[in-house]
């Protein structure tokens, strides 16, 4: 369940960033200067009648500027920008019905961005009887491809939906093993 949520979260983040980028008109300032990026997370409703919480710990949220061509025709790459510097745990089941949580924020250079990476270090199911089940994380990095634009001096928000129901899966070959395969989408 957590893997699906994380993937949903990454996709939600991606969609949110894309929508934010599309809503800015061409008259917006670009180039030099800084703008603020706020990455938020929600979760679509889930039918897990015996689960109380789906806790996911993120250790990184990173945005990647879009590659550009310099005047000599060479691809100019700018470095990735980390927006999260310490681990934070989120209960995905509290992020339904319009509720959201701020994952990370920070000033970044104005311009175009092409993806967001989430790094997951831990995921746990908490059942209503208070027992817990650790989720095996097959990949701790979730890349969410998303096109978005950061405007100078503006707050730019992106919202991701971490789909808990789609992210947590039972491994049929290993009895009782739950796997987190994050399903993250952007929200329009």
Domain assignment present for 152: yes
Q: What is the pLDDT of residues 86-95, one digit of tens each?
A: 899 999 989 8
Q: Are strands 136-137 and 177-180 parallel, antiparallel or unpaired?
A: parallel
Domain assignment present for 172: yes
- Check residue 152 and give its pLDDT: 93
Which residue would you say has higher pLDDT here, 166 or 131?
131
pTM confidence score: 0.69
Of 76, 136, 86, 91, which is closest to residue 106 (Cα–Cα)?
86
pLDDT at 114 over 50: yes
Question: How far apart, in whole angstroms, are the C-alpha atoms of residue 151 and residue 100?
Answer: 23
Helix, strand or coil, per DSSP, at residue 31: coil
- Check residue 76 and give its pLDDT: 59
Cβ density class 27-60: b for 16+ within 10 Å, e for less:
eeebeeeebebbbbbbbbebebeebbbbbbbbeb
Domain assignment present for 175: yes
Residue 12: pLDDT band by 50, 70, 90 thresholds?
very low
Domain assignment present for 163: yes
- Check residue 43 and give its pLDDT: 58
- Check residue 28 and give its pLDDT: 42
- Domains of the chain: total: 1
Domain assignment present for 30: no
Q: Which of 12-16, 53-57, 78-82 has the highest mean pLDDT?
A: 53-57
Residue 76 lies in domain: 2-24+35-186
Domain assignment present for 104: yes
């Amino acid at each position: 369940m957590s893997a699906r949520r994380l993937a949903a979260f990454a996709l939600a983040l991606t969609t949110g960033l894309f929508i934010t980028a599309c809503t800015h008109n061409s008259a917006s300032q670009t180039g030099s200067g800084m703008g603020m990026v706020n990455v938020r997370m929600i979760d679509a409703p889930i039918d897990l009648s015996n689960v109380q919480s789906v806790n996911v710990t993120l250790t990184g949220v990173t945005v990647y500027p879009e590659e550009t061509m310099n005047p000599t025709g060479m691809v100019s790459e700018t470095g990735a920008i980390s927006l999260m510097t310490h681990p934070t745990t989120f209960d995905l089941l509290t992020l339904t019905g319009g509720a959201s949580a701020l994952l990370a924020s920070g000033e970044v250079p104005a311009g175009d961005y092409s993806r967001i990476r989430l790094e997951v270090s831990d995921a746990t199911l908490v059942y209503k009887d208070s027992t817990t089940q650790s989720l095996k994380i097959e990949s701790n990095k979730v890349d969410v491809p998303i096109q978005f634009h950061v405007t100078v001096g503006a707050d730019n928000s992106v919202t991701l939906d971490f789909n808990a129901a789609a992210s947590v899966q039972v491994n049929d070959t290993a009895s009782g093993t739950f796997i987190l395969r994050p399903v993250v989408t952007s929200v329009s």
